[in-house]
Structure 1
């Protein structure tokens, strides 16, 4: 049995999306995004007190990029991974882990806008700097999707993969802090991949406790 430890609107969403794409049976354990992740019982699952954590085949895995790689190797018939013999394997790895490059800036923005409650502790400089860094990541994705290759509908020429899932979920979070209008190819790609039923099934259900209460967070000017 596969068990995913998950918080809504966090990095664990990319693992949930992949599991839904794979169509495998799994149990979903939802945790609040709070100090309970530091509880001793959860630390036995995820030593850093973070999500995702995945229990499978008697092992416990953490780190979303590693979990995506393991799941793709465990279920190769879904075609969402790439093997070392595949010409797209290096690019698959690059884009799979590029999601974390973007996500680190989004984590900083989430902390500034949401986790920090007192205005005097927030920094408008950090907010603007991290938003600009996230925008540079979107420039990178735009450049990839703008490459003049026939049927460039996904990050890889060979089609939709876990790389699209990882980066797509990071863009899902980025939209709370950076508007996608300046990146037309990213916008079209994001619209395509998030129309997939597996992505829709990974969204928080109505009434769920969510991390982002607003659709968009403007930089604070205090």
Structure 2
């Protein structure tokens, strides 16, 4: 029997990415919706993630946090879903999954917060500069339907989410390569199902 899978999330979080991945995997899971500042900081959840952040998953007795790690773990834990390349073919898969989780995430966050690197200090930042990170991301997706080969993978869930979110909210440039890449992902049934679930969980407007 498959170990139980529990998903800790909030609809207004990066949990949306993890839910997309869960829907791509296609395995049943229990969801636990947490609130910022209350249940997310309660001792019960801090035992799952000491950072008091979502998402997290628990698969049997195994706990995984950090969205890129969740995507990679689920692809390996459920190989029948075909969401990871063969081990010998994972160079681009790992490269771009962690490029998006590292330099791209940091560059977007700093730009959104108005953080400016001091002159001559760009070498101290893993992303160098916002433009350099965007140029790297553009090179990664240009001319490709999928980021890591000829099949959709967990890397597309993570990179695609970064691109789709960035285009929707203006945190990345609307470059043609980004729009083309996202257009090839945004109608996937698992993405649409996950989006519908999270939209239903959003706080209702007064």
TM-score w.r.t. the length of structure 1 is 0.74
Following superposition, the deviation at residue 91 of structure 1 comes to 0.9
Q: Which residue of 2 aligns with 1:160?
A: 152
Following superposition, the deviation at residue 73 of structure 1 comes to 1.0
Which residues of structure 1 form unaligned runs of 5+?
113-124, 214-222
Structure-1 separation of matches of 2:58 and 2:201: 27
TM-score w.r.t. the length of structure 2 is 0.79
Q: Which residue of 1 aligns with 2:171?
A: 178
1:59 aligns with 2:62: yes
Is the 8 Å Cα contact of residues 145 and 155 (structure 1) preserved in structure 2?
yes
Is the 8 Å Cα contact of residues 84 and 153 (structure 2) preserved in structure 1?
yes
Instruction: Quote the RMSD (CA, aligned, Å).
Output: 2.8
Is the 8 Å Cα contact of residues 111 and 130 (structure 2) preserved in structure 1?
no
Structure-2 separation of matches of 1:36 and 1:105: 30
Following superposition, the deviation at residue 90 of structure 1 comes to 1.2
Structure-2 separation of matches of 1:35 and 1:177: 30
1:23 aligns with 2:26: yes
1:71 aligns with 2:63: no
Q: Which residue of 2 aligns with 1:45?
A: 48
The structure-2 alpha-carbon separation of the partners of 1:25 and 1:206, relative to structure 1 and needing over 3 Å to count, comes to closer
Q: Deviations over 1:88-143 (max 9, x none)?
A: x1110111112212223344456x4xxxxxxxxxxxx42799xx955543322221
The structure-2 alpha-carbon separation of the partners of 1:177 and 1:133, relative to structure 1 and needing over 3 Å to count, comes to farther
- Aligned residue-pair number: 189
1:146 to 124, 142, 146: 142
Q: Which residue of 1 aligns with 2:121?
A: none
Structure-1 separation of matches of 2:166 and 2:36: 18
Which residues of structure 2 form unaligned runs of 5+?
119-127
Is the 8 Å Cα contact of residues 106 and 173 (structure 1) preserved in structure 2?
no
The structure-2 alpha-carbon separation of the partners of 1:195 and 1:77, relative to structure 1 and needing over 3 Å to count, comes to same
The structure-2 alpha-carbon separation of the partners of 1:184 and 1:22, relative to structure 1 and needing over 3 Å to count, comes to same
Structure-1 separation of matches of 2:99 and 2:203: 28
Structure-2 separation of matches of 1:17 and 1:104: 22
Within-5 A mapping of 1:196-207:
196-203=188-195, 204-206=198-200
Is the 8 Å Cα contact of residues 180 and 187 (structure 1) preserved in structure 2?
no
* Over 6 Å off, 4+ runs: none
The structure-2 alpha-carbon separation of the partners of 1:49 and 1:108, relative to structure 1 and needing over 3 Å to count, comes to farther
1:188 to 164, 175, 180: 180
Is the 8 Å Cα contact of residues 15 and 67 (structure 1) preserved in structure 2?
yes
